Amino acid sequence: MGKKILKYTIVVLIILVLGYNSVYFRKLSEVKATIVTGQFDVFHFSQQLWEEQLPAKLDSAVELITLLLLLKTNKAEAFSKYSNALHIGNARYFLVKATGTVTNVNEDEVMLRYGGADSTVNIQLETEFVYGNAIRDASGLVDLNDFTNAADLNAISEELNKQVRKNVLPPFKSAVKKDNVVDIVGVIEMNREHVNTKEIEIIPLKLKIIQ
């Protein structure tokens, strides 16, 4: 219960911070977005990203084991080759794919086992608290230079998050059970200075129960 309250508190704080930061920018490019009555149409822009551009990105997601091995042998190359972020900093986002076996179904997440007996990785699949900019940034489809309004950038993130919360997660949560084998394509966040390759948290973008 305490963990759930803490997560809700964090979500509220994120919303407040994003709202505060929305004073800085305003949309510039009329090429990459639809303009409706002089205003940026975030819904149609985000829907176009989700339906027309993101699927190809998901198909090219790096296999999780490939990323994890490279992080161990050449961390700089792993971040350079596979990560994205709109802002400068140590937090980076990766699009990954994996197939794991469900070990536990909890209220806010699904736990999976990934890999072989000698290289098991615990995956925490986020199924409740999908917020923030991870999906937007990991996609690599939004260019910071095309925007001068942080409110628009934040709104794109929220629309992409809504797609996951409303369309991806409900059918999965209603069907998933312990010992199911699940195909996952999603986003992981990693800090360049504090890399953890044993416990991975994934925000799902595509889920399929295969057995």
Nearest to 210 by CA among 183, 186, 185, 184: 183
* Average pLDDT for runs of 10 along the chain of length 211: 52 48 41 49 93 95 95 95 92 97 96 82 94 95 86 94 96 97 97 89 97 90
pLDDT at 187: 98
pTM: 0.80
Cα-to-chain-centroid distance, residue 167: 15
Residue type (1 letter), 142:
V
pLDDT at 117: 58
What is the chain's Cα-based Rg?
Answer: 18
Which parts of the chain fold into alpha helices (H)?
A: 2-21, 42-48, 54-59, 64-73, 75-82, 134-139, 150-163, 169-175
pLDDT at 14: 53
The helix/strand/coil state of 41 is coil
**Half-sphere exposure (CA, 13 Å, Cβ side) for 211?**
4
**Bridge partner residues of 109 (DSSP):** 126
Domains of the chain, start order: 2-209 (2.40.50.420)
Nearest to 49 by CA among 33, 63, 27: 33
pLDDT at 119: 76
Element (H, E) at 35: strand 35-36
